[in-house]
Each structure stands twice: as C-alpha cells, then as structure tokens.
Structure 1
Amino acid sequence: MTDSTSDSPLPAQDLQTLRGMADCQSVDLLLSDTNGLLRGKRVTAQSLPAVYRDGICLPMSLIATDITGNTVEETGLGYDIGDQDRICRPVPGSLRPVPWAPQPTAQLLLSMEDGNGAAFAAHPRSVLERVLARFHALGLTPVVAVELEFYLFDARADARGRPQTPPHPLNGERSDRTQVYYLDDLDTHRGFIDAVTAACRQQRVPADTAVAEYAPGQFEINLQHRNDALLACDDAVFLKRTVKAIAQQQGQLASFMAKPFAAQAGSGMHLHVSLLDRAGRNILACSADAPSAALRHAIGGLQHAMSDCLLLFAPHANSYRRFVANAFVPLNDSWGFNNRTVAMRVPHSDAGNTRIEHRIAGADANPYLVTAAVLAGMLDGLQRQCDPGPPVVGNAYTQRPLQSPAWSESIQRFIASEFIARHFGIAFRHIYGQQKRREMLDFQSQVSDLDYAWYLRTV
C-alpha cells in the first residue's frame, strides 16, 4: 500500500518509508510500557493515514501493567477511573519495516496523551523528553549510545525446565566455556548475527559492533551514538525487538534477562553520554591527567542520584541477582578512567570524545527510563557542582565499600524520593513506584521450587 496524495497526514520521512515498502499489508503500532514491553495494535496499512490524523485509543493502564501483563490497581489507572482510554499518536519519523514478517509489514512507535492532549506523565518516552527539554533550555545536547548484552538460548529448555545454550550447528554440542571476545563464537552464530545486522540495516537502526561476551551464549550488540537521545533509545527498542524476533525465527530464544545463571555473567545496558554546547563542543572534553570540572560535576551528580534511581536501572526481582562481586558489575558509586570495575567509566579516547559510560543498568531495564535517569543525574550534578571525589585507579571492588542492593529497599527509596519527584514528576513516581511494589508483593507470594527442595521434607 502506498499513499501518493499530496495531502497525506504522514510526515515526509514516514511517507517515503511507506512508499519504499512494496505492497505493505499491515502496521504494528507499538507503545512502550514502563517495563519496556511493547504493547499496542496491528492495523491494516489502509488505515494508517487515519492513525496519523486522529491517533488511536488504548487503555491508559497499559503504561503501567505489571511484567505479567496485569493491570496494577494501586497506580490508579484501572478500575478507579473505569480503565479509561487515551489517545495515542505516532512518533514522527519512527515508521520502519518489519523485515522478519511473513508478509510486508511496517511498525510505528506511539506516544500516549493525557486527557488534555498533553503527553502522559508516565509514558517512558515522554519522561525522557521532559528531561531533555531542560538540557536544551541550557543550550546543551546529550549525545547518547546504548550497548545491550543478551543471551542466546535453545528454544527448548533442558530436562529441569532451565534455559540452555543452543547446539553447535555442526557437531550439536552445547558450549559451557567462557571465551570473551572470541571470534569463533561469532562465527558459530554467524547466521543469527548476520540476520540481525541485515534487519537492523533495513530498519535504519545503526547497529555497530557485535562481540561474544563473558559467558557461553552471551553476546553484545552496540549502537552508534546519536545526538538525539530519544532516537538513540528508539534504536534500542527496535534492536531488542529485532534480536528476539530473529532468534525465534531461527528456532532459538534471545533473552535480555539480567541474570539467567547464578554462576555466569549477567547482562547489562551500558549507556555512553557526552554533552555538546551550542557551538558543538563537548563540555566533558579532558584527559585523565586533568579531568574537566564539567566531567567531575556530572559524575558527582550520578553518584548522588544512584540510590534514588536504582529502581529504574534494576526494575525486577532478577535484576538484583546481577549485583555480585568480580563480575564487572558496579557495587558502589566509584568512577575512573579506562576502568571496567567502576560504576561510571570514562572510556579510553581522545580528549574531544570524552564520555561517561554508565554501567549500572541491566539489559532488562527500559532504555528511555535509564537514559532519563542518567541524564537527570548528570544535569543535577552540573547545576549543583557535585564533587565525585578522586577517580579509582585499579580494582574498585577492593578500594571502596561494596553494596548489596535489594529490590524492596530500592522501591521504598524510589517512592519517597524527592529527586525523582523533582526530575520526573509526582505522578510518574507514584505510578512506577506502585507498579513495582505490586510486582514485588506478587513475586514474594509465590512458592518456588527451591522452597520445596529445601523445606518440604526437612522441616
């Protein structure tokens, strides 16, 4: 389906995308909830102009459904208001093809409005948009890149119902070794990596580098930096959808779960951020021998905001299993140059490309909310001129006190946080906090297999 009329309601870029898709049949309308899950509708391509013109209605409660897809009544978005609909409108420029679909299909991101036509306070993309507006008011532009780690599993579980690495395509053996950055592992899974790369290219997702990570079946795909943080997060959303879809198409399972195995590395979301002024200069630019004031203040702000924002970086029960020592996961608020044991790393680069790599978030987190939290912390530090202390040289695990964060404490801290209310709004704090509190209570009410193994016959 193409629309060649001059009065089309589609923006020029989206109209061009649609015209480039031969015989497009349907469009997936995607709304990211606070957990990062994509919800929405599938419509015919013929109805797309009406979607751009009028929007579509979706329940407001979708934004804060729990991880199992149930409405969280404590948010106030369910029965209390009659489970009302809200208008959702296309994000201009986000129309992309769905390369793995069996028939020509497009996909389109949505943004939810409140009852007055403004952006809904709890929609993750809008949360980030509000933080970015404060940077732009100061003449600053964040440049952002997202790195995502994930595991590739066999679609079939093992005899205990646990995930297992996929069999080698030639000998059928399953790898149990760790060979970080091992090119043979990339060659073994070349069919998957190449298919993901090709699908990303068709969607204009700038996937840059693929590496075999620190566990069997674990990989990382990096995205190129963008001077539009919203677009950088859109890229991450499309990448996650692509990785999962291609894996399923090839009889495998891709998971961004933070800690699938107790004895193997967890999967993180590392966020790279630099800041440009109105003249296009990176205000963080410096060398390790002479850290700039802006770099130090931004890192100081991230340290100050770390505990309040931890629920955004580690949103689920499983997220906290990732925080173990000697696993390249931050266990304190340390920072340093060219050092992977710290929370805020300044990667090796020339002075002009100085950036902060924020290493706390898990791959299971919502990229819009992680980016909003990181940028809010940096902005707060710049404005208050926070002092981060000296950079760590060497092993941060042995030089700073280690922390063992807990889900319940993160939820309590978030719900009471003045920082969250100030930067993200009281409405978002309430909705997200109550969503996570309900998830925690429901999770804790379950009786696990370990309960039976430890207690059924012994007490």
Structure 2
Amino acid sequence: MSAPFDYGDEATDFLARHPEIEAIDIVLTDANGIGRGKIIRRHELAGLYRDGRHLPSSILGLDVTGQDVEETGLVWSVGDADLRAWPLPGTLVPLPGTEPARGQVLISLYQLDGRPHGADPRHAMAARQRALVADGRHPAGAFELEFYLLDREAGPDGRPRPAAMALDGRRHDQTQVYGLDDLDGMQPFFGPVYAAARAQGLPLETLIAEYAPGQYELTLHYRHDLLRAADDLVMLKRLVRLLARRQGMMACFMAKPFAGLAGSGMHLHVCLNDREGRNLFAEPDGQGPPAEMLRHAIGGLAATMGDAMLVFAPHANSWRRYVSNLYAPVQPSWGINDRSVALRIPAGPAASRRVEHRPAGVDANPYLVGATVLAGIRHGIALSVDPGPMAQNDGFTSATPFTSQMPADWRTAWVQAGRSDFLREALGSDLLRAFLAIKQAEIGRVAGTIPDTDYLLYINHV
C-alpha cells in the first residue's frame, strides 16, 4: 500500500535539523491510553515514512499490564498477524532530556490493504470528527491535564507522598490551591517542561497549583482541529512523565491516588465552528440564554453520559474520583459558570462559547474520550435533545430528573457499555469489542486480588 498521508520532506528535514538525534520512539496509543511501540535507529526513519512499519495486531489487544487478551479477537484468533503502522504528520519531534538524543513520532495502525484498523482508538476519533465536518461543523478545543508529582520513593508509611519542592526540598502537606509559592518551588521541573513543549510545538499555556498537595494542572491552547488537540494531550502526558523521572520524581496519572484529596481530571473544552471559523455555540446577539445548538449538544452529552462512563472512568481507581464537593461530577448535570456540574459553560465572551466536559479522569484515553464526546454532541444536535433545566449551583445534589444516570460502579458501567448502541456507533464495533474485553480482563484481575482493606476490616473480626 502507499502511504496514507502526503508527508513531503518531513523525515528528511527533521534529520537535517537534528543531527544529534540517534534514535526515534514510534508511539502508538492503545485502548488504555498507554504508549506502545518501538525505538528505531536514525537510519530507519526514512523507511518508516516510505513503507510504514509492521506491528502485531495484539498490540491493540493488551490489558493495562501488557498481557494479551484473547477475547479482543486481536491475538491468536487472527494468528497475531502483522498490521502496518504509519507516522502521523506533524508529530515528529525531538524528545528532550534523553541521552543519547532521541526523537518521537506518533503512529496509527492500518490493515495491510490500507484500511484504517478498527481497533485503533485514534481512528475512532478521526471518524467522529469527519462526520461532524461533513455536516459543516468543525470541532475545535483543547484538553486540560491534571496530575500529581510524587516522590520516587514511598514515604515513611510505605505509601506514595507528594514530591518535595524541586527548588529547595521543602515538604508541603497543605492544599495551597492556586498557590504561587508552590509553583515557584517546582520551577526547576516546570521550566524544562515548557522548554520541551516549545521544542515539540505543543501549545502549552497556564500552570496551576491544584486542589491538593502535589497536584498541578497544565492547560493547552485551543486547536481548530480537535483530533490534533488529542495528540497534544498524548504528547504532553508522555513529556511530563519522562521529565519527572529524570528529576527523581514520578508523574502520577491515576484518577484518585489519595483518599480524601481531589482526584485528577482530563477536562475537554470543545466547540463547533462553521467553515469560516465562526463559533456555532455562540449566542447570536452575544448575550442571553445558551444558543440552541449549544443546548442540543449539551443534551446529547447528558443523554449519552451513562453509556459512555466506561470510557471516561476506565479503571477500578477511576471510580474513587467521583466524590461530591471535590470537583468531580456525580450526575450528568449542566450549568453556566458552575464547577459542580458535569457539563459546564464557562464564563467569557460569546465568541469563545464552549462546553467544558468534566467527567473524564486523567487516566482515560483522550482519543476515546474525544470520539465519545463528538458522537454525543452530534447525537444531541441531530435529535434536538433538550438538556432539561440547568443546575443552580447544586450539581452535586440537584434532584433534577436527568436524561441519563451515571452508573453506580465500574462493573455496572461495563455492562451498560456492552449494551449501548450509541457506544457501538461512537467507537465502532471492533474497537468496542476489544475495549470491553480488555476491561473485562482488568475487572477479573482486580476482583481476584485481596486488598489491604480486607485484612484491616476482617482478619481479626469475622
């Protein structure tokens, strides 16, 4: 097959600009959002762009531990056959902090005959974006990245603890939300992160000390191509993890690493533009109630949220994040300038009107989140779904009758996802089958593990 993209001289130009680079990481994002692939040598890059690179089908059928899940239909039932990986244009970048110097390029998988592989998460999001563009609606937006910085070694109690300040080794055990001193104390880390983001062309913007000791947020600038915004998030997450490791810290992307403290979200800000770049979510007169298209988009997101929660909360730990009054939504609510809801319309000028989609944890796969959100928006607009009354600063406790309900737990979410025609259309049947099988294997793994709480509660008392 020929290359699916017109790469021009991307590989040749990159190597000419970076004679120091000796190898390149080729990175595929699997269903769990984990980067998998190979490290190729410098002289192999031209061949990757010319001919692609063979990778086994099982790479899309792995659980979170890297074990094959036969039930995905991607392992021995197809002989673990080779697929062909192709690089994604614009993602070939240096990988700062590596020695010897390496680069990085994102890849996507195709059948040997050139068709996009149905179990590749990025293809699912690309298909949902194409469907909206065909309607004359162009998705734009950006993701936010919340995470913890932890010490590499456990604390005296044997548990993870927030990292000491990189500047002077200070310890902090307070929730200094928006605290500038905490940000200053971590500048020896965040300075290189911003420099590396510039080198990679990532539109990295605001840094915030979040709602727990050691928790931070990085925001990315809006893209007029939402698929590229998901690539940004994938690349930023990998960059933060790599640079934290090189500074003796661990970047933690669990949704809820500490009981009683805030979890980490992956909020998606999204709007639809017309072909001329005008925001279709903006009120026609620049004021007044939300525009009709925005209301219907919110209605579709609310109506499909229950079916999609396995995407937004894919792991056992994900469900610990949904606690009232800790900035994670507990109902499919919506509101204006209200952080207690799942679907927030931020304050600001009409031209920037958008939905902030808040249910997904930072442990979710951004391509699956993007595909599901775009499908929910299109569903709402196509069927003119009414979102119902908005929450009045009571998104955690509102008794409003919602068009769907969030599942009570992880396994219930898995069952609901498996019955969902909406999710089958949003992700495609091949990807949904693989995702459900991978999650079923993880559910079984967790169920078969005896947690410490069992010993604490029962060993001496029953």
* Pair in the same fold by TM > 0.5: yes
Query: Which 5+ residue runs of structure 1 have no aligned equivalent?
Result: 1-8
Looking at structure 2, the residues matched to 365 and 288 of structure 1 have their Cα atoms a distance apart, in angstroms, of 35
Looking at structure 2, the residues matched to 160 and 64 of structure 1 have their Cα atoms a distance apart, in angstroms, of 37
Q: Could you say which residue in structure 2 is the equivalent of 1:422?
A: 425
After superposition, the Cα gap between the structure-2 partners of 1:169 and 1:428, relative to the gap in structure 1 and judged at 3 Å, is closer
Looking at structure 1, the residues matched to 169 and 126 of structure 2 have their Cα atoms a distance apart, in angstroms, of 47
Looking at structure 2, the residues matched to 403 and 274 of structure 1 have their Cα atoms a distance apart, in angstroms, of 23
- Counterparts of 1:49-448 in structure 2, within 5 Å, are 49-169=46-166, 172-286=169-283, 289-400=288-399, 405-448=408-451
Summarize deviations over 1:300-324 as a string: whole Å, max 9, x none.
Answer: 0001110111111100000000001
Summarize deviations over 1:199-221 as a string: whole Å, max 9, x none.
Answer: 11110011111100000000000
Would you say the 8 A contact 1:303–1:333 is kept in 2? yes
Looking at structure 2, the residues matched to 101 and 239 of structure 1 have their Cα atoms a distance apart, in angstroms, of 16
Q: Partner amino acid for 1:390?
A: P
Residue 159 of structure 1, CA deviation: 3.5
Residue 16 of structure 1, CA deviation: 2.9
Would you say the 8 A contact 1:288–1:337 is kept in 2? no
Compare 164-173 and 184-193 and name the one that shifted more.
164-173
Looking at structure 2, the residues matched to 376 and 445 of structure 1 have their Cα atoms a distance apart, in angstroms, of 35
Secondary structure class of the residue paired with 1:399: coil
Residue 403 of structure 1, CA deviation: 5.7
After superposition, the Cα gap between the structure-2 partners of 1:399 and 1:43, relative to the gap in structure 1 and judged at 3 Å, is same
Would you say the 8 A contact 1:323–1:404 is kept in 2? no
Looking at structure 1, the residues matched to 51 and 456 of structure 2 have their Cα atoms a distance apart, in angstroms, of 56
Residue 173 of structure 1, CA deviation: 4.2
After superposition, the Cα gap between the structure-2 partners of 1:403 and 1:73, relative to the gap in structure 1 and judged at 3 Å, is closer
Residue 160 of structure 1, CA deviation: 3.8
- Counterparts of 1:12-23 in structure 2, within 5 Å, are 12-23=9-20
What RMSD over aligned residues (CA atoms) do the two structures have, in Å?
1.6
Would you say the 8 A contact 1:10–1:49 is kept in 2? no
After superposition, the Cα gap between the structure-2 partners of 1:134 and 1:10, relative to the gap in structure 1 and judged at 3 Å, is closer
Secondary structure class of the residue paired with 2:267: strand
Would you say the 8 A contact 1:14–1:93 is kept in 2? no
Residue 134 of structure 1, CA deviation: 0.3
Looking at structure 1, the residues matched to 125 and 98 of structure 2 have their Cα atoms a distance apart, in angstroms, of 30
Summarize deviations over 1:238-278 as a string: whole Å, max 9, x none.
Answer: 10011111110000011110000011000000000011012
Would you say the 8 A contact 2:166–2:187 is kept in 1? no
Q: Partner amino acid for 2:278?
A: R
Residue 161 of structure 1, CA deviation: 3.0
After superposition, the Cα gap between the structure-2 partners of 1:146 and 1:189, relative to the gap in structure 1 and judged at 3 Å, is same
Residue 171 of structure 1, CA deviation: 6.2
Would you say the 8 A contact 1:317–1:440 is kept in 2? yes
Looking at structure 2, the residues matched to 306 and 18 of structure 1 have their Cα atoms a distance apart, in angstroms, of 45
Would you say the 8 A contact 1:177–1:216 is kept in 2? yes
After superposition, the Cα gap between the structure-2 partners of 1:261 and 1:451, relative to the gap in structure 1 and judged at 3 Å, is same
Residue 59 of structure 1, CA deviation: 1.4
Looking at structure 1, the residues matched to 122 and 108 of structure 2 have their Cα atoms a distance apart, in angstroms, of 7
Looking at structure 1, the residues matched to 145 and 319 of structure 2 have their Cα atoms a distance apart, in angstroms, of 17
Looking at structure 2, the residues matched to 450 and 107 of structure 1 have their Cα atoms a distance apart, in angstroms, of 42
Q: Could you say which residue in structure 2 is the equivalent of 1:6?
A: none
Residue 399 of structure 1, CA deviation: 2.1
Would you say the 8 A contact 1:145–1:226 is kept in 2? yes
Q: Could you say which residue in structure 1 is the equivalent of 2:3?
A: none
Looking at structure 2, the residues matched to 288 and 159 of structure 1 have their Cα atoms a distance apart, in angstroms, of 55
Q: Partner amino acid for 1:128?
A: M
Would you say the 8 A contact 1:21–1:104 is kept in 2? no
Looking at structure 2, the residues matched to 204 and 74 of structure 1 have their Cα atoms a distance apart, in angstroms, of 39
TM-score (norm: length of structure 2): 0.94
Looking at structure 2, the residues matched to 312 and 18 of structure 1 have their Cα atoms a distance apart, in angstroms, of 38
Q: Partner amino acid for 2:257?
A: P
After superposition, the Cα gap between the structure-2 partners of 1:169 and 1:281, relative to the gap in structure 1 and judged at 3 Å, is closer
Residue 70 of structure 1, CA deviation: 0.4
Would you say the 8 A contact 2:151–2:164 is kept in 1? yes
1:29 pairs, out of 22, 26, 30, with 26
Aligned residues: 451
After superposition, the Cα gap between the structure-2 partners of 1:170 and 1:104, relative to the gap in structure 1 and judged at 3 Å, is closer
Query: Which 5+ residue runs of structure 2 have no aligned equivalent?
Result: 1-5
Residue 78 of structure 1, CA deviation: 1.5
Looking at structure 1, the residues matched to 27 and 155 of structure 2 have their Cα atoms a distance apart, in angstroms, of 33
Secondary structure class of the residue paired with 1:397: coil
Secondary structure class of the residue paired with 2:348: coil
Residue 115 of structure 1, CA deviation: 4.4
Would you say the 8 A contact 1:309–1:420 is kept in 2? yes
Residue 90 of structure 1, CA deviation: 1.1
Summarize deviations over 1:412-459 as a string: whole Å, max 9, x none.
Answer: 111111101223222121111111111101111011222222222222
Compare 249-258 and 55-64 and name the one that shifted more.
55-64
Would you say the 8 A contact 1:149–1:269 is kept in 2? yes
Would you say the 8 A contact 2:371–2:426 is kept in 1? no
Summarize deviations over 1:100-153 as a string: whole Å, max 9, x none.
Answer: 111221111111012432111110111101101101111111011000100001
Q: What fraction of aligned residue pairs are identical, expressed as a percent? A: 43
Looking at structure 1, the residues matched to 184 and 367 of structure 2 have their Cα atoms a distance apart, in angstroms, of 32
Would you say the 8 A contact 2:11–2:46 is kept in 1? no
Summarize deviations over 1:333-382 as a string: whole Å, max 9, x none.
Answer: 11111110010000011011100000000000011111111111001100
Looking at structure 2, the residues matched to 18 and 140 of structure 1 have their Cα atoms a distance apart, in angstroms, of 37
Would you say the 8 A contact 1:308–1:417 is kept in 2? yes
- Counterparts of 1:446-457 in structure 2, within 5 Å, are 446-457=449-460
